[in-house]
């Protein structure tokens, strides 16, 4: 018995770190065609949701099984997310180009960006856990974000801190490439799973995670 035991904190931390490294690699490779960004992200959330309950087991086979399963719904969800992110990029370009109206573009960018965050922060986790239409999944993400607003805001702060650390310097960026995607997805999954469990315990809630309409 001790901290270096297979059930000890050191071994568990190293094991979890290695799992996130592998997950980040598979996510990156499967996202390279861009159009498959959505299914790859849903697959990564499938693994991370299980990680939050220590049920992940192997990484490779379940990841690719989830990737294949979520091609139909994951592709449009991913493309909608990328379009939404591109709209924020366009707003930043307008902010730089039109100095006289820069304040308006700044305000618009903050509002649009926050709505996009609320709409998509739990969307991929929802698709990983439940069967639903893409638009309903985005709507449910927004509803959950509003319902648990303070904790969702706290999650935003935590994610911002993680990104700041990742992009702090050249060395942290290298580390971020290796583990960053898995770490961000795992962070969101930890919060999302708490909400899912709370909602599933409510009277009248669905008992089957693969059968849900609207939250």
What are the tens digits of pLDDT across the range 170-209? 999 999 999 999 999 999 999 999 999 999 988 766 545 5
**14 domain residue, yes or no:** yes
Model pTM? 0.90
**209 domain residue, yes or no:** no
Could you tell me the end-to-end alpha-carbon distance of the chain, in angstroms, rounded to an integer? 45
**4 domain residue, yes or no:** no
Sign of CA dihedral 144, 145, 151, 156: positive
**108 domain residue, yes or no:** yes
CA atoms within 13 A on the CB side of 52: 21
Could you give the angle at the alpha carbon of 11 between the alpha carbons of 10 and 15, nearest 5°?
120
**Interatomic CA distance for residues 162 and 173, integer angstroms:** 11
**178 domain residue, yes or no:** yes
**211 domain residue, yes or no:** no
The pLDDT score that the predictor gives to residue 12 is 76
**Interatomic CA distance for residues 28 and 44, integer angstroms:** 10
**18 domain residue, yes or no:** yes
**208 domain residue, yes or no:** no
Domain residue limits at 123: 9-200
pLDDT tens digits, residue range 64-123?
999 999 999 999 999 999 999 999 999 889 888 887 788 888 899 999 999 999 999 999
Specify the number of domains making up the chain.
1
């Amino acid at each position: 018995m001790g901290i270096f035991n297979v059930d000890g904190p050191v071994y568990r931390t190293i094991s979890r770190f290695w799992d996130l490294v592998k997950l980040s690699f598979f996510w990156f490779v499967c996202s390279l065609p861009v159009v498959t960004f959505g299914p790859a992200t849903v697959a990564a959330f499938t693994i991370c949701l299980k990680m939050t309950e220590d049920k992940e087991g192997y990484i490779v086979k379940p990841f690719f099984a989830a990737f294949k399963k979520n091609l139909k719904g994951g592709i449009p969800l991913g493309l909608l997310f990328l379009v939404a992110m591109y709209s924020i990029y366009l707003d930043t370009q307008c902010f730089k180009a039109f100095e006289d109206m820069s304040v308006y573009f700044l305000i618009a960018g903050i509002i649009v960006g926050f709505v996009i965050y609320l709409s998509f922060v739990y969307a991929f986790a929802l698709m990983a856990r439940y069967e639903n239409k893409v638009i309903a999944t985005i709507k449910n993400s927004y509803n959950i974000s509003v319902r648990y607003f303070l904790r969702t805001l706290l999650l935003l702060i935590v994610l911002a801190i993680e990104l700041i650390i990742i992009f702090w310097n050249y060395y942290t960026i290298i580390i971020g490439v290796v583990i960053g995607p898995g770490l961000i997805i795992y962070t969101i999954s930890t919060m999302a799973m708490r909400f899912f469990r709370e909602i599933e315990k409510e009277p009248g809630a669905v008992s089957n995670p693969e059968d849900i309409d609207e939250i």
